[in-house]
Amino acid sequence: MKYIELKESIIAEYLSTGLSLRKLGVKHGVNFRKIHYWIMQYQGRMKKPSTSKRLKPDPGITQDGLPTDVKKLQAELRKARLLNEVLTELIKVAEDELGLPIRKKPGTK
């Protein structure tokens, strides 16, 4: 029996009978991992190897190697830090004016 015919008959037997890969491997003298590979390839679940080994340039990356949205993220971080400082100062002022510890939970030791 030719290799391709053996391969097709094992795949057909697996899909029709539901025998385990290991039992089919023992029955036909083929490694069960190879049978699994054949079945995944037959069902179209295998990843196709890439045709090019070179990395294609990402359009979201500038020439210096950083994504183009880094400046946007840096601006958002700066705004978040400023907001944090403002809120911290607001809590300090409220604690000074009211004379109550706002950050400390009441009843803590």
Residues 89-103: tens digit of each pLDDT: 998 998 899 888 787
Distance between CA 30 and CA 17 in Å, rounded?
17
Quote the pLDDT of residue 78: 93
- Type and span of the H or E element at 7: helix 3-17
Average pLDDT of the chain is 81
At 5, is the pLDDT very low, low, confident or very high (cuts 50, 70, 90)?
Answer: confident
Q: Distance between terminal CA atoms of the chain?
A: 84
The CA R_g of the chain, rounded to the nearest whole Å, is 32
